[in-house]
Amino acid sequence: MSRLCEGRVVIVTGSGRGIGREHALMLAEHGAKVVVNDLGGERDGSGADQTPAQSVVEEILAMGGEAVVNGDDVSSWEGAQRMINTAIESFGDLHAVVNNAGILRDRMLVNMTEAEWDAVIAVHLKGTFAPARWAAAYWREKAKAGEPVDARIINTTSVSGIYGNVGQTNYGAAKAGIASFTIIASRELARYGVTVNAVAPAALTRMTEDLGMGQLPEEEKERMSPRWIAPIVTWLASEQSRPVTGRVFEASGRVFAVAEGWHRGPTAEPVDDPTVLGPIVKDLVTRARLNSGMDGSDLDGGWKESGE
């Protein structure tokens, strides 16, 4: 088997368990030197334990690969910088950052607390920004010094963010932000030899087992194994993915697709009188494509008369 990531140095955040663990193991199988980052917290982000990350490192070493543990908090500015430095100091370079770490604190909007909002935004959104920012600065300096750069940032968004899911205004907002961050960063960093893409995974992990997935039949559980996400992340981390940037890929054992972002829909001539807008808005909304549901198909957002 050809090894896609031979000699490439890759950081995977939140890789002590679940989807991140599968990323780290497959990247190592394909020759990458892996920084296994994991704070080791609970599903809601509380606590810390380096045992899961150390276990993944030991698995990689046992297969003849190279890996080190990093236990920094992805949402910490200084911690993110230390994480990037861990890769460079341990392996002499950095080629890809996989921003995978995440937590859940699901709640309906009317019951959500400030702490539940802040925690999810911090881990997902700042926890994507901070490692990406320090990695980008490293690659920019290399490019300005005339050194070759062929680098990758691979973010983790979600169908909850790009399509919308009830009970996840905090998580969905963070994940939608990550999708936009991906597109904008891809345009900014192209000049330095860096591509930026995102993956929207669906898998049965400790994050999702009590959201109905834990009750699936065994055959469906296999289709929702986190191992189905790792191939696209491994490919995106490789040199082969150089032509692709600014895209979001849906990945699971059920579907593999590229998501299409916001586009301008039906248009009308601008007006400066709000009293005439009713029929115009009705026409625009009626002609517009409906918002997507979680499965990617049309769901809602149409014009609804009173009582419908």
Output 78 or 300, whichever has higher pLDDT: 78
Residue 217 scores a pLDDT above 90: no
Query: For 9-14, what is the mean pLDDT?
Result: 98
pLDDT value at 207 more than 70: no
- Give the pTM: 0.90
Q: Kindly tell me if the per-residue pLDDT of 235 is higher than 90.
A: yes
The residues that are catalytic are 171
- Check: CB of residue 103 under 8 Å from CB of residue 45: yes
d(CA 283, CA 37): 51
Q: What percent of the chain has pLDDT over 70?
A: 91
Per-residue pLDDT, 149: 98
Residue 36, classified by CB atoms within 10 Å of its CB into exposed (0-12), middle (13-18) or buried (19+), is buried
How large is the angle between the packed helices 77-91 and 127-144, nearest 10 degrees?
50
List the beta bridge partners of residue 67: 34
Angle between helices 18-29 and 51-62 (to 10 degrees): 20
Which of 241, 163, 234 is CA-nearest to residue 195? 241
pLDDT tens-digit series, residues 148-201? 999 999 999 999 999 999 999 999 999 999 999 999 999 999 999 999 999 999
- Strand partners of residue 34: 10, 67
pLDDT tens for 52-98 read: 999 999 999 999 999 999 999 999 999 999 999 999 999 999 999 99
Domains of the chain: 9-259 (3.40.50.720), 264-308 (no CATH)
Q: Which amino acid is at 307?
A: G
pLDDT for 216 equals: 61
For residue 206, the model assigns a pLDDT of 53
Q: Measured between alpha carbons, how far is residue 302 from residues 275, 276, 284, 305, 308 in Å?
A: 21, 19, 10, 10, 11
Q: Letter for the amino acid at 140? A: R
Residue whose pair of structure tokens reads 């899911």 in the numeric block: 165
Count of residues for the chain?
Answer: 308
